[in-house]
Amino acid sequence: MTKIDLYLDDLRPCPPGFALARSAEECLLMVKECRIGILSLDYDLGWGAPNGMDVVRGLIASGTFPDRIYLHTSSESGRRQMYEALYQSKPDRTELYAGPMPYEMLAERAAQAGKPSKKAKE
């Protein structure tokens, strides 16, 4: 099974070195088909569309968890809901962070993907 890092967001650009899912459905399909190292979740994915919490419910129902989960959403209530549900259900091996990935990690992933990050160019 292929291991990937996955970024769920309907609007933001995908960081270098990550696969992009633009919807909850696409994200859950990728989780089912691939082994996920890092998963970064947005909450709001468009008006009336399933959201990040639907992804969290899918992870919990399937018992499939990545190595690390970051919550990069700007929705405080969405972040809180996802964090609380994940914290209660994740295995000990899964690291959970209630915020976005640190710049250093993004720069490292970009270098591994062969693409300089925006900040590294400045």
| pLDDT value of position 122 | 43
Residues 6 or more apart whose CB falls under 8 angstroms from that of 107 comprise 117, 119, 120
Instruction: Return the CATH fold of 3-117.
Output: Rossmann fold (3.40.50)
Residue with tokens 């062969």: 114
26, HSE (Cβ side, Cα atoms, 13 Å):
13
Average pLDDT over the chain reads 93
pLDDT tens-digit readout, 57-108: 999 999 999 999 999 999 999 999 999 999 999 999 999 999 999 999 999 8
**What pTM does this model have?**
0.91
pLDDT category of residue 116 using cuts at 50, 70 and 90: low
Report the percentage of the chain scoring pLDDT > 70: 93
